[in-house]
Amino acid sequence: MNFIRSLVFNIFIYLGVILACTLALPLLILPSSFLRKLAFYLGKYFIFLSRYILNTKVNIEGKENLKETKTYFIASEHQSMFETFVFNSLIPNNFFILKKELLNIPLYGQCLKKMGCVPIQRGKTTKENINFTDDIKKQVSKGNTLIIFPQGTRIPYGQIVPLKKGVGRIYSDLNIACIPVKLDTGKVWPKNSFLKYPGEINIKFEKPINPGLEMNEFMNKLNNIFYN
């Protein structure tokens, strides 16, 4: 039964992504707000499929914390593809830091670029990596909200990995609040797994970490929120 449910879910997920990319093609010549609206509905589509095919309820907690500070960036746990799409329905005018290779995916990469995503090359010293903070500041100055995954990649639910130091540098350089996000999407959508499972997905926006902390203090605080 779970295999059939997962098969149907995966089919509808990829059909939805393909349709969204097709609809995005003419939107690439329009202001980015049109593309963001499409991404918003795609995120809602992921939640809809989870509820009615996987029989998985999606709980969103702590959204009131987004109103505690005018300017902030999001630092989220990362366990599945689910949150990368659903954040588009929760955080308006967002942009991600992502692997540069993703921009090479036909059409999808163009959409990411249109929405202001900032590419980096891991483990390399490149012009893009050196200037990536300037690129982030440019997007933030336009009123866009950065979403970053400090764990660096999707990790299994319950696993603990060191956080990437880049999030501390961003916190210091931007001098704005950080809102951590805890989630447990890996219980339903495990990394690299065809099978998806019924249950509950919980996404929680924590209280802001205000600017002004030393980098190590900030990193310790973020680490405690993620893993305690």
Q: pLDDT tens across 197-208, in order?
A: 999 999 999 999
Q: Check pLDDT > 80 for residue 131.
A: no
Q: Is the pTM of this model over 0.85?
A: yes
Sign of the alpha-carbon torsion through 203, 207, 212, 216 = negative
CATH, residue 123: 3.40.1130
In tens, the pLDDT along 76-92 reads 999 999 999 999 999 98
> In the chain, helix, strand, coil percent, each to 5?
50, 15, 35
**Nearest 5°: CA angle at 116, between 103 and 208?**
120
Total number of domains constituting the chain: 1
Of 129 and 226, the one with more pLDDT: 226
Q: Which domain holds residue 116?
A: 2-227
In tens, the pLDDT along 24-59 reads 999 999 999 999 999 999 999 999 999 999 999 999
What is the Cα–Cα distance from 108 to 131, expressed in whole angstroms? 23
